[in-house]
Structure 1
Amino acid sequence: MRLPFFSLVSILVSAGALADGVSDFGTTNRPFRQADLRPHLRDEEGYSENWGFNVWLPNGDFVAAEAIVSNIGFGDHNGGFKLRYLPSDGEKCVCQKEYDDDEWSWARDGFELVFGRNRISGGQQGYHVRGSCGNVSMELHFANEAAPAVPGSGLIRFGQDGLYSMMFPTPRARVTGWVSCNGKKRQLEGIGYAEHSWANMLPHKQMRRWFRFKAIRPDISIAMAEMETTPDYGHARRGWVLASDSGGKLILSAAPRFEFSHFIRDKKAPAGYTVPRMVTITASEGKTRVSGKLIMTGLKKIEDPTAKLGAIKRAIVRRFMKPRDYYLNCRYEIEIEKDGTTRRVQGEGFYRFMYVNP
């Protein structure tokens, strides 16, 4: 078994005819339901579901736990669990383990996922993550400062062909706990953020590319993203902007506008791989407004998700997907207008421009 977010899989899928249109999330954010987090366990070959819980520490360290269920590869509803501890300096610890469909379980009431010695559980007030894999283990307690939220309906329809869903069980949380890397245990306190998404179509049939940016800071948490669909779906663009602080949600817009400009070409890649040096953002929810820009300051790194595949499998995968993931250092300047006041957020970070196919 191979999982889509841990390693790319070799699947032969024929190209389809021009597809129907793509819906949007809608402009009214529906309430979050705890049942939304439970596995959907779709039957389609392209079904994949992801739960990601992340923590940013004051010293720059990053801690993450990720659960996946997927039909992509051999067998249906197989699972995986991945743990990461990425210090700002020093040795990182990363471990992932895969599970057959009868080796993991989930609760029919409330919310709980169990993958061997790894577990995610909780409710709208917060979540508990426990993980142990190889040389890394952790226990994390997420106390939500912002309530779980859904962008619009939480669902995008790709005509009659498939669905994409996104929600935020933790827009912002105070996290306490510990992480152990190579036998060295560290207590931690940081800011948490979590996403849950699922789709029932293969990635290269849905998306041409993604844009993503996060600024998770002690004073505020900002997350934004935009997908561009394949030509079969008219290069439709859908995304969100989410901002929260210790007082709760500031804004969740399911209809933002991103303008990408000052493109430069990757001269070491085939034609079609270009990245924007500037991103301009506008978004609103009710009377709350967000505006801002990201200005590229340099290249952080470029990743090819197929690089670690064997030669034969890589050749098969690249018949359908030629992914390339750009991490671009930036300076960000964002303003949030709410309740008659303007909040200015400035700093340095990075955004990602990820091609499934150019």
Structure 2
Amino acid sequence: MKIAVINSGSSSLKFKLFEMPSGRVIINKLVEHIGEPNSSVKNHFEAIESLHVNFADIDAVGHRVVHGGEKFRNSVLIDDEVIEAIKDLIPLAPLHNPANLEGIKVIRHKAPDTVQIAVFDTAFHATLPKEAFVYALPYEMYEKNQIRRYGFHGTSHAYLLQEAAALLNKKVQETNIITLHLGNGASACAIKNGKSCDTSMGFTPLEGLVMGTRCGDIDPAIALFMQNELGLSADEVDNTLNKKSGLLGLCGENDVRNIERRSDERAKLALDIMVRRIQKYIGAYMIVLEEVDAVVFSGGIGENSSYVREKVMNNKILKNIKSLVIKTNEELQIINECLWVLKNRKITQA
């Protein structure tokens, strides 16, 4: 069986073709600068054409879809209804869902009989209790406008759960862990009895931990101050919080490897602020979970920075908790989700 994984971004397309059940990667390609000035690749159709893959020979294609809203609690077979629902969710992910849809539509055009499956970044967090996902805003904003915590990096946290449970020699449904996906984008997740019960990213991926260029948690009135007192437009505020803040804003760069090599005060402060925020979330999630089997580090920083890991765990309370380092594999998790959907499809059809 051949299963492909497509991550269709606004200006890039990642493609991996797996042979199952061996898990061998047959093709691994990345197409960048889609639609950018001077790029030879004008759109996603041309990007997929450039892969030179016969999709009619592939058994299934799994698509990473960033936002599934409240509708999609699991991965699903893609049909007309699913496409319309993903389209309806564009206001919640205006940069991502349109690009995800483009990848789906191109494969439909090229190989209409090939099974396609949507794997949602938000679905793993569909188990959050209401007290974890409802903001203390006028309640009608949740009911009418879908303003709530959704959480992201779901495929990564789901993969880390499976791997951590195996390493801890525990059943998934009995595993209580705190997973840390630490990269340029970063999020924490409290997993109780194998289910996400809290997570640091919220309505958007801006909330939570200090990231490469995102500020994470701040007083929301700062955004109003930036507009009213500093004269920034709404777009400028958005750009500042998402692309000019975080480690980059604190010390001028967002590559932790370079920051660690520096000896200046700003570099040290940036790392200390990032570490402190991670520790605050771990502490909060310890209360939520009551029992913690392990803290799991993953992502580019979590996997490779022993400095950050040691700083985070260098605490009298945390020293008594097991820590694990697991290399995340979101593509493999998408494959597992596809296999689950295909299996359930066969059961339903039987």
- Please, what TM-score do these two structures have when normalized by structure 2? 0.26
Structure having the larger proportion of residues in helix: 2
Q: Which has the larger radius of gyration?
A: 2
Point out the structure with the larger strand share. Answer: 1
